[in-house]
Amino acid sequence: MNRRLFLRNTAMAGTGIIAGANALKGLPTNYFPTATPVSLMGQRFVTLCFMIRTTPWEVSRDVKLHPRDEANWHTLEGVRAMRESFAKNNPHGRLTWGFTLNALEDKRKNYAEIRDYVAGCQKKYGDEVSYFPGYFPAMYLPRERVNREITEAIQIITNFVGNGYRPQAIMGGFLSADSLKYLAEKEKIHVAHAVIWSQHNIDGGGADGSPSYPFYPSTEHFCKPAQGKADFIDCVNLDGWTMDFICARQSGSNGHELTGFNSRRGVGPIETYVGWGLELGHKEVMHTQALHFDKGFELNGFGWVTNIWEVQMYYEMGKDIICNALEMWVGDTIKRWPDTHFVTFGEYGNLWRDHYKNNNDWNYRFVERGSGFGDSYNNLEMKWFMNKEFRLALLHDWHKDEPDRVIDFTRYDLTAHEPADPSPDKPIKNWSLINRINQKGLRPEDKPILLKELEQSEKDLIAKHYPELNFQ
């Protein structure tokens, strides 16, 4: 499914544009400090990127995977309206702007105006201005070309922002381990959005298998956490969209928006506000955020929600639904969790890097009971455990008091390999790291099993990290 070209006009009909205004009443004052937080722990973070492009799925100047020219959908009016909607109830918040190479170089008046405006936002708000090579460069371009164009794009950004500015993070979609190593060693940038967590059979490809929270990648595979000094890349790997875990276990999407499934359901605007309308979509967004800002915060000591909005949605989907959705999302986040910091990808990644010097100490845990909306089934409870050596997902029907079953056991202590270099005429779409059991359930060996049915060596490995689990 091409979710970024998806347009559902009915989403804007009768679903409560007024709700956007009503949701903004009673916001707290002085809800968070203006300065960047000095530590990771004990904090809640939101990272948001506005993406600016010239066509969908463009990964280089001459590699445009869809012919649609979106120039008329990228205007100063639209960009300013989205930034002001973000700031309406969030005057101190910062975000990241992600430009494709074409959007950085396009000489048309509207793109020149947008670049000037974004440079002003960097000075006024402290926003981050970054390079975003269209989500999927690793699928279509050889590594050397991806790396070379990263350097070219950063130089263009420095030139138009001025004063020697350089981003703290690159927005990459999928970036190979080689590109992350290049970014850290050659460009001295140590944060990248380089994985789209759980994406599989969406937008023509995918790369399932990584942790969902930050990690240092291995030289073997960008989805694999480094196991030690020998395979360590000093570039924090960040996800781009926070997912509803129960929805994300599916592969791709299928059927009607309300009755079918969509593995990308979570905080993303296309799958929520556009797909379901403002009221229902907003409930799913807030449900997904609560997984990280309530129980996840308790379990992990900090919470993080990440999101990317494409600027062309202002025209494609309609300015009313997009600007109202932004105001609703940001406003209700601040009302419910007034300590939330809206920071750039680079700021957040570097805070994580300051706290964690390697992969030895982080140990992420998440628990979700479905929202009851769409395919986030409210009878299911899912638990995720993620550490340097493996990720483990357990699922059970809590209405029936069924036992937990293993639906994902991805081992990071095993050797991994990325595909060889692709090319535009010979792309490589599957970059997933899949071994023992995968949540998508596409292979016979992915059939859910009880914990006690694992091999003894596997139970011993899991028990080393989670001795409280019942293997009987």
Cα gap 371→365, rounded to integer Å = 19
Q: Considering the entire predicted model, what is its pTM? A: 0.92
Instruction: Render pLDDT for 21-65 as a digit per residue (tens, 0 to 9).
Output: 333 344 444 444 446 778 999 999 999 999 999 998 898 998 887
Model confidence at 261, pLDDT cuts 50, 70, 90, reads confident
Model confidence at 272, pLDDT cuts 50, 70, 90, reads very high
467: pLDDT strictly greater than 70: yes
Cα gap 225→227, rounded to integer Å = 6
In one letter, which amino acid is 402? E
67: pLDDT strictly greater than 90: no
255: pLDDT strictly greater than 70: no
pLDDT (0 to 100) of residue 2: 40
Q: What is the average per-residue pLDDT within 85-90?
A: 95
Instruction: Render pLDDT for 188-228 as a digit per residue (tens, 0 to 9).
Output: 999 999 999 988 877 778 899 999 999 999 999 999 999 99
Cα gap 370→1, rounded to integer Å = 23
Instruction: Render pLDDT for 380-410 as a digit per residue (tens, 0 to 9).
Output: 999 999 999 999 999 999 999 999 999 999 9
pLDDT (0 to 100) of residue 135: 83
5: pLDDT strictly greater than 50: no
In one letter, which amino acid is 305? V
Domains detected in the chain: 41-355 (3.20.20.510), 364-415+432-465 (3.30.1120.110)
107: left (phi over 0), alpha (psi -120 to 50) or beta: alpha
Q: What is the average per-residue pLDDT within 11-27?
A: 38
For 306, phi then psi, to 5°, come to -130, 145
pLDDT (0 to 100) of residue 21: 38
Identify the weakest region by mean pLDDT among 219-228, 249-258, 279-288, 443-452.
249-258
> Which pairs count as long-range contacts for 156-160, CB under 8 Å and 24+ apart, including other chains?
156/104, 156/105, 157/99, 157/104, 157/129, 157/130, 157/131, 160/104, 160/115, 160/116, 160/119
pLDDT (0 to 100) of residue 30: 43
Identify the weakest region by mean pLDDT among 161-175, 208-222, 240-254.
240-254
Identify the weakest region by mean pLDDT among 183-187, 314-318, 354-358.
314-318
Cα gap 106→363, rounded to integer Å = 44
331: pLDDT strictly greater than 60: yes
pLDDT (0 to 100) of residue 14: 31
Q: What is the DSSP string of 244-273?
A: -HHHHTSSSEES-TTTSEETT-BS-TIIII
Q: How many CA atoms lie within 13 A of 200 on its CB side?
A: 20
Summary mean pLDDT of the chain: 91
Model confidence at 466, pLDDT cuts 50, 70, 90, reads very high
1: pLDDT strictly greater than 70: no
Q: What is the average per-residue pLDDT within 420-438?
A: 95
